[in-house]
Structure 1
């Protein structure tokens, strides 16, 4: 196989992988290795539409002043994911700002950003953010075109356009899959005619081997979408003889209630399970969140009889709602890995069944037209097939 063919396949594969990671990150509401900025608020560090490497918060650890973070805003951009730099660390949380903005986010309506809101940290070797120019521009351009097409079709058919953004993301995901198949069909085979016969079956790919590769990618991304947003959160309670109106400053034996916001920033429904430590109780203990929705859970705080400062913990676990919520909660009770494994098994079954239904169970044979055929000729041939 010639070096040029390998380079073309490698570049095409990287492009497909990059776009797929961006789209899946949108669908699940959690940046997966790659993200992008949609506005110019981070110029000159990042121009609008630039992509960047996003390290999940669970891996990156606590950020510090100067780090560029992706956080789940409460007020900015309608409460969506925002990429800004931490300019100050305070006892109440992080003060953030876009590099191009003359004021901080907290100078407006956005409260200080907490560790719970941060979902990823931009990779900054040597203090400089590693950017991928125009990567986000390409994704937003395709998504905008698809959303426009969806809006036009919906108006004709009388379908609601309230969730056209979500539909656009799904369509982009389908487009990425089709693009990947196109790359495979166009470049997987040999690019020159062989003069000698061979007993090997070139350009023939085993059914189960191909399906295994697809399943691995989907299961890996789905597992990341469940594991990365999960975590344990601390609540500090001060027990004193002089309590205040603060629900976390209590008299000995007193109880109070805290409200914890739970949000699903993705387009896939999830089941959220809460596990509380000593001195805390959650109501409800589990809840199902639809696409791009939010809810709240009430934490009941019980102060010990002795004064002092105490820390309680709340564990939050998330599972894609591909099984009945009650079953996922039951499996979680056995072990969180049991619930994750059950979700992955369902996805495996769906992928294998869909591929077998669409393509059969025979081996895939890929034929390449060869470089001697002009691109315009190949395009005309493909268009004639659809007439």
Structure 2
């Protein structure tokens, strides 16, 4: 195995690793990799260390000793927390940071429910597989995005939502321009061989692999936090004062919270699945690292009892103009998701090709690319 092959393999592996971490964390849904931002998990993981995040669907049941990534569920500023499971109870899981003297629940936090868990850290022989310093790239990305968004807001005199839209529009324009440049560049080349002379995989296939990683992360960020949520309430006569209690035929009011754990803004569409449910509004734009409440009014049945009503949420990364997302959503809820995933995949593909191509001079080819002028000179 040549030194060139090893160097290229390491460079590609690092590229895929960093992009997977950035995509998963920036979009608010850990995929393949995650990182810790505090020292609460020392000595297993130091602040900024990365780890391999395995989605819960692939892990199965959570057991004591597992290090899990879960939504804090504090109802104010939801965030992703990485702590170890101490034990399982009827109320949920008891968790604790390895460096903390008491459990999270002794510190006043609620028990962690199954639906809050999004990933589990990979462990070998009881030791977390960690990647030192991986969090630096992710936090840097978030900082850059915040600075760009704040700068646009200062220049244009708009609020956070509108500046987020400006960033999304800028990403769209840059990605389309990059895609067109890449297409023209590819058309001007003559492909004479699909493999380079040292037997390594061609850059196009590597770029496709990276694009797939980003596409899967984007899909998870939009699909996993969304879905159906049931609201339980009681119809009783007389109805005491309290939340989610009403007399038969009365009105129950509560809030549906749309939380965004990522840096990119999202657009969420809400639809009632059952009759008698009225929403304050059917769409909400939530900036990065923020949340928004939508009032839900439910008409209680005429008979007493316990009831449930369901609200369905569809969410999308705000990377397309709002009229485009609205038009696609009106046709089918899956269409905006497909369009946004395709957009992010194209951005990742173009950036990856640029990074690989700029990593050094192209190796000599037995039969690689040549321009029309070069081919003309060869024929002469």
Which TM class, normalised by the smaller chain length? 0.5 to 0.7
Shift of 1:337: 1.6
CA distance in 1, matches of 2:245, 2:43: 44
Do the aligned partners of 2:19 and 2:210 also contact (CA within 8 Å) in 1?
no
Measured against aligned partners, the alpha-carbon deviations of 1:133-170 in whole angstroms (never above 9, x if no partner) come to 41xx244279569969x99xx99xx99xxx9xxxxxx9
CA distance in 1, matches of 2:349, 2:48: 35
Unpaired runs of 5+ residues, structure 2, are 161-166, 168-191, 365-380
**CA RMSD, aligned part only?**
4.6
Shift of 1:83: 0.8
The TM-score with structure 1 as length reference comes to 0.65
Secondary structure in 1 matching 2:319: coil
Do the aligned partners of 1:33 and 1:53 also contact (CA within 8 Å) in 2?
yes
Of residues 284, 288, 306, the one that matches 1:287 is 284
CA distance in 1, matches of 2:129, 2:13: 15
Shift of 1:348: 5.9
Do the aligned partners of 1:32 and 1:56 also contact (CA within 8 Å) in 2?
yes
Unpaired runs of 5+ residues, structure 1, are 164-169, 171-198, 370-387
CA distance in 2, matches of 1:354, 1:233: 38
Structure 2 residue 258 is matched with structure 1 residue 262: yes
Question: Equivalent residues in 2 for 1:41-80 (5 A)?
Answer: 41-57=40-56, 63=62, 66-73=65-72, 80=79
CA distance in 2, matches of 1:22, 1:222: 12
Do the aligned partners of 1:96 and 1:106 also contact (CA within 8 Å) in 2?
yes
Do the aligned partners of 2:29 and 2:217 also contact (CA within 8 Å) in 1?
no
Do the aligned partners of 1:37 and 1:46 also contact (CA within 8 Å) in 2?
yes
Shift of 1:28: 0.8
Secondary structure in 2 matching 1:105: coil
Using CA pairs under 8 Å that are at least 6 residues apart, name the structure with larger relative contact order, 1 or 2. Answer: 2
Do the aligned partners of 2:20 and 2:214 also contact (CA within 8 Å) in 1?
no
Shift of 1:84: 1.4
Question: Equivalent residues in 2 for 1:343-362 (5 A)?
Answer: 343-347=340-344
- Aligned match of 1:221: 217
CA distance in 1, matches of 2:7, 2:47: 28
- Aligned match of 1:22: 21
- Aligned match of 1:251: 247
- Alignment coverage as a number of residue pairs: 321
- Aligned match of 1:131: 129
Of residues 226, 229, 235, the one that matches 2:231 is 235
Shift of 1:297: 1.1
The TM-score with structure 2 as length reference comes to 0.66
Secondary structure in 2 matching 1:100: coil
- Aligned match of 1:368: 363
Secondary structure in 1 matching 2:298: strand
CA distance in 2, matches of 1:124, 1:211: 29
Secondary structure in 1 matching 2:218: helix
